[in-house]
Amino acid sequence: MVDPLSGGPGGVPEPLARQADPHLVELPAVPTDDPRWILVEEGFTLAREHEVESLFAIGNGYAGTRGSLAEGSALSTPATFVAGVFDSDGSSLPGLVSTADWTRLSTSIDGQPLRLDRGRNLEHRRILDMRQGIFWREWQHQDEAGRITRVRVLRLASLADRHLLLQSATITPENFSGRIFVDATLTGPVVQVTGSGTTVAMAVARRVMNPTGRWTPSTELIQGRQGLELRLGETYRLDRVVALHTSRDTADPREMAHRHVERAIDNVAGIIGDHRDAWLARWQASDLRIEGDPATQRALRFAIYHLLSAVNPQDDRVSIGARGLSGSAYKGHVFWDTDIFMLPFFILTYPEAARALVMYRYHALAAARAKAARLGYRGAFYAWESADSGDDVTPPFVVAPDGQVVRLLTGEQQLHISADVAFGVWNYWRATGDDRFLVEAGAEILIETARFWASRAERGDDGRYHIRGVIGPDEYHETVDDNAYTNGMAQWNLEVAAEIANLVADRWPEPWQALSRRLGIEPDEPRQWQQVARDLYTGFDERTRLFEQFRGYFGLEEIDLAAFVPRTAPMDVLLGRERIQRSKIIKQPDVVMLVYLLWERMAPEVRKANFEYYEPRCGHGSSLSPAIHALVAARLGDTALAERYFRQAAEIDLADSMGNAASGIHAAALGGLWQAAVFGFAGLRFCEEKPEHHANLPPSWHSLSMRFQWRGQWHELTLPEGAERKKAEEDS
C-alpha cells in the first residue's frame, strides 16, 4: 500500500494538486434535484437582486435571513430578522430589527475581490431547496486575469434548533494556484439592545477544513479573516455556525449564545441532519401533492415553504407579519392577513403552530381592550397593525404614489379586524377541538370582540343597528357606513359569542363562573348580542340577492375595468384617489370575502349573484385578492376563471407581478393560494362538523393529495376518488 502523503510509486512525490482528492472536501449535504421541490435562479440580474433576496429567504419562525449574496453586490440588502424583536428610532413606529449580517463571506485572489460584477461568471446558480429548507449557491467565476475559482455555499436556519444558523462554503481554484484571502467576519454588532430594552445576541464559531479533509486549527480563520495559499484543484471548506438568543427567551442571551455555538460547531453534520429531518417531518404533514402540473406543484410548495419558515410553535407571543421574516415591508407588522389568510393552513396541517398564532391574539387582548376604551367602546378592538405588544402601530400617514402625504385611516376604521381575529379563533377551536384553549383564551376573545360590536353598532331611526364610519377590506373606499363585510362578520361574531358563552357556561360551569366574574358578564348579555346581531343592517337586497358593499355603493360611478387592460399600475394610481373613491372599483374582495367566509350561511344563488356582480369590479390592488377570487370561482364551478386567478396569485411572488416582492414575500397571498387549492379546487369543507369535499380540479391536475388534521385525527384526501379517478386515468 502506498502512503499518499509519502509520495507515489518510486518515492517521487506527486504534484500536490493530484494528491488532494477533489472529492475529499465537499459541502456537508447535497441539494435536492427534483424540479418540483426547488426554485432555481440562474445567472445574475442585478435589477432582480432584491426580489431574489426575498424569494430565496430561509427561516424557521424564530429568525429569517434573506437570500443575499455573501460577498454583496451594488444592490444587496442582507438582513436577518428575529420574530418579535422590534425597534423604533423614537419618532417612527416599531419595525423588525435587522441583526448583524452573519452570512457575509468575501474572498479575494491576489488582492482582487471575487465578485459577480467583475470578470465573468461561467456558472452562477442559486437554489432554494424547499424540501430540505436549504439555500444553495454554485458559482464558477473567471477573473480578469483568467483565473477560475469555484465557490459552493449552503445556508440554513435550523428547524430542529431554532437558535442556530449555519453556513458552509467551499472554495477551489480550478486553473491556478495562488493566495486567496477570505473574510468571514460579521458586519454589524453581535449584541444589540433595542429601544425597549430587548437584547439580541449572536455568537459565531467557524472551522476550516483543509484540502486533505482535516480540520485545521487556524485561529486566524476561526476569527474570521485569513490568507490561504491554495494550490490548483485544492478545496478548502469553511463552516460557520451562529447561535442567536434574545432577552425575550433567556436572561443572559450573550452567555447562552456563546455556550450554544461552542457545542454546535463540532456537530455541523448533526445540525444539518436534524434540520433536514425536521423539514421532512413537516412536509410529511403539510405537503400538498399535485400530479400533472409541475409548475403548480412548485408554486404550492413555495407557498408552504414560506409559511412554514415564518411560524414558530414554540413562541406564542409572536405572530407572522405580512411579509413573514423575509423582508422589511410593513415593518414586520401583523394584519388580518394572519388570521384569515394564513391560519387555515396551520390549523389543518400544523395545529401546534396555529395555537401559537391564536394565543398571540390572546396576549394582545389587553391592548385591544385599551384601544376600544380609548375610543369610548366596550370589549376589544384589535390593532389593525400590531407588532410585539398588540398595540396599534398603524402609521398615521403614508406617502401616496404621486408623492402626496395622505392620512391613513385604516387603524381607526378597519374595524373588521376584531371579527377576523374572532373568526380565526373559532376556526382553530372548531377544527382542533382544543377545548382547553377555548375555555382559557378563545371564549374571552369571542366575548370581548362581541362586546365591541354591541357597543359600536348604533340603533338608527329605522330600528336597525348600523356600523358607521368604517373601511372594509376594500381600502379604496374610506369612512363608509354599513360595510357589508364588516356588518356580516360582526353579526357572525355576535351570534357565535353568544353560542360559545352558553356552551362554556353549560359544559365548564366553574371556569365560566370565574370568567364571567372577571369580565363582569351580565347574565343577559349573550341575549343582547343575539339581538344586536338580529337587527344589524346587512345591506342585503332580497330582490337582486346582492349585498350592497356599503351604503351608497350602488350609486357610484361605473368604470369598465376591461378598458384598462393591459394595465401596468394599480387602479388607484391610474385614476387617482378621489376618482376611485367615487367609483365602484374595489381594491380587493369585500362582499366576495364575506361570501367565502360565511359560505354555509349563504344560499347558492346569493353566492353566485354576488361573485358575478363584484368580480368584474375588482381591481386586485392587493396581493390578497386573486387567490380568494380563485377559491370562490372554483367553488362556483367556474374552473377556467379559477385557474386564471390561481395563476395570478402564484405569480405575485414567483413572477413579481405586483413589482414589490423586493421587500418580502406576500405571506397572505401564499396562504390564500393554499386555500384556493384546498378549499377551492379540492372543495374541502367542514359541514355538520365533519370534513367533506366537492372537488372541481383543473383539467391539468391529474390528482391532488394531502393530509390534514381534524379534531386530533389525521385524514388523507386524494382526488379524484375511486371510480372518478379510474376514469381520469383511463382518459389521460
From the list 341, 293, 345, the residue with the least C-alpha distance to 697 is 293
* CB closer to ligand BGC out of 396 and 637: 396
Residues whose CB is less than 8 angstroms from the CB of residue 618 and which lie 6 or more positions away in sequence, other chains included: 561, 585, 586, 587, 588, 589, 592, 625, 629
C-alpha–C-alpha distance, residues 115 and 349, integer Å? 42
**Could you confirm whether 615 is annotated as catalytic?**
no
Query: Applying CB under 6 A, which part among 41-49, 116-124, 275-283, 328-336 lies near ligand BGC?
Result: 328-336
* CB closer to ligand BGC out of 321 and 698: 321
Return the residues of window 452-491 that contact ligand BGC according to CB under 6 A.
473, 475
Return the residues of window 631-670 that contact ligand BGC according to CB under 6 A.
668
Q: Where are the alpha helices (DSSP H) in 401-467?
A: 410-413, 416-432, 435-437, 443-456
Q: Give yes or no for a contact between 244 and 82, defined as CB atoms under 8 angstroms apart.
A: yes
DSSP-based three-state secondary structure for 291: strand
Nearest approach, Cβ of residue 670 and ligand BGC (Å)? 11
* CB closer to ligand BGC out of 81 and 279: 81
Nearest approach, Cβ of residue 102 and ligand BGC (Å)? 28
DSSP-based three-state secondary structure for 687: strand
Contact between 449 and ligand BGC (CB under 6 A)? no
Q: By rule CB under 6 A, what string of x and - marks binding of each residue 32-51 to ligand BGC?
A: --------------------
C-alpha–C-alpha distance, residues 368 and 410, integer Å? 15
Distance of CA 180 to the CA centre of its chain: 39
Burial 323-355 (b: 16+ CB within 10 A, else e): bbbbbbbbbbbbbbbbbbbbbbbbbbbbbebbb
| Grid cell in block for residue 454 | 354591541
Nearest approach, Cβ of residue 130 and ligand BGC (Å)? 23
Nearest approach, Cβ of residue 337 and ligand BGC (Å)? 5
Q: Which of 81, 279, 335, 613 binds ligand BGC (CB under 6 A)?
A: 335
Contact between 103 and ligand BGC (CB under 6 A)? no
Nearest approach, Cβ of residue 666 and ligand BGC (Å)? 7
Q: Indicate the DSSP class of residue 47.
A: G
Size of the site for ligand BGC (CB under 6 A): 12
Residue with cell 438582513: 79
Nearest approach, Cβ of residue 430 and ligand BGC (Å)? 24
| Grid cell in block for residue 111 | 488582492
Q: Which of 107, 235, 622, 675 binds ligand BGC (CB under 6 A)?
A: 622
The CA distances from residue 386 to 378, 436, 681, in Å, are 20, 26, 33
C-alpha–C-alpha distance, residues 529 and 471, integer Å? 22
From the list 101, 52, 103, 50, the residue with the least C-alpha distance to 75 is 50
Q: By rule CB under 6 A, what string of x and - marks binding of each residue 538-557 to ligand BGC?
A: --------------------
From the list 491, 519, 490, the residue with the least C-alpha distance to 504 is 519
* CB closer to ligand BGC out of 61 and 664: 664
Contact between 334 and ligand BGC (CB under 6 A)? no
Cβ atoms within 10 A of the Cβ of 546, count?
20
404 by Cβ neighbours in 10 Å (0-12 / 13-18 / 19+) ranks as exposed
Contact between 672 and ligand BGC (CB under 6 A)? no
Nearest approach, Cβ of residue 482 and ligand BGC (Å)? 19
From the list 531, 528, 529, 500, the residue with the least C-alpha distance to 515 is 500
Nearest approach, Cβ of residue 650 and ligand BGC (Å)? 17
* CB closer to ligand BGC out of 245 and 629: 629
* CB closer to ligand BGC out of 211 and 619: 619
* CB closer to ligand BGC out of 488 and 683: 488
Q: Which of 49, 51, 161, 337 binds ligand BGC (CB under 6 A)?
A: 337
* CB closer to ligand BGC out of 136 and 485: 485
* CB closer to ligand BGC out of 81 and 330: 330
Query: Applying CB under 6 A, which part among 174-182, 333-341, 460-468, 645-653 lies near ligand BGC?
Result: 333-341
Nearest approach, Cβ of residue 491 and ligand BGC (Å)? 21
Q: Which of 336, 377, 429, 512 binds ligand BGC (CB under 6 A)?
A: 336
| Grid cell in block for residue 633 | 370561482
Query: Applying CB under 6 A, which part among 111-119, 330-338, 429-437, 706-714 lies near ligand BGC?
Result: 330-338
* CB closer to ligand BGC out of 222 and 417: 417
Query: Applying CB under 6 A, which part among 132-140, 332-340, 599-607, 678-686 lies near ligand BGC?
Result: 332-340
* CB closer to ligand BGC out of 454 and 580: 580
Q: Which of 322, 380, 484, 571 binds ligand BGC (CB under 6 A)?
A: 322
Nearest approach, Cβ of residue 415 and ligand BGC (Å)? 13
Return the residues of window 571-600 that contact ligand BGC according to CB under 6 A.
587-588
- Residue 38's beta-bridge partner residues? 129
Nearest approach, Cβ of residue 350 and ligand BGC (Å)? 21
Nearest approach, Cβ of residue 133 and ligand BGC (Å)? 24
Burial 492-520 (b: 16+ CB within 10 A, else e): bbbbbbbebbeebbeebeebbeebbeebe
Q: Give yes or no for a contact between 188 and 99, defined as CB atoms under 8 angstroms apart.
A: yes
The CA distances from residue 476 to 306, 645, 649, in Å, are 29, 21, 20
Cβ atoms within 10 A of the Cβ of 28, count?
16
C-alpha–C-alpha distance, residues 644 and 647, integer Å? 5
Q: Find the catalytic residue in 475, 478, 495, 548.
A: 475
* CB closer to ligand BGC out of 102 and 335: 335
Query: Applying CB under 6 A, which part among 102-110, 131-139, 297-305, 334-342 lies near ligand BGC?
Result: 334-342
Q: Which of 318, 624, 636, 676 binds ligand BGC (CB under 6 A)?
A: 624
* CB closer to ligand BGC out of 241 and 383: 383
6 by Cβ neighbours in 10 Å (0-12 / 13-18 / 19+) ranks as exposed
Amino acid letter, 512: W
Residues whose CB is less than 8 angstroms from the CB of residue 161 and which lie 6 or more positions away in sequence, other chains included: 264, 271, 274
CA end-to-end distance (rounded Å), the chain? 60
Residues whose CB is less than 8 angstroms from the CB of residue 505 and which lie 6 or more positions away in sequence, other chains included: 512, 516
Nearest approach, Cβ of residue 667 and ligand BGC (Å)? 8
The CA distances from residue 579 to 276, 549, 567, 568, in Å, are 53, 18, 17, 18
3 by Cβ neighbours in 10 Å (0-12 / 13-18 / 19+) ranks as exposed
Sign of dihedral through CA atoms 19, 20, 22, 23? Answer: positive
Chain contacts with ligand BGC (rule: CB under 6 A): 322, 330, 335-337, 473, 475, 587-588, 622, 624, 668
Active site residues per annotation = 475
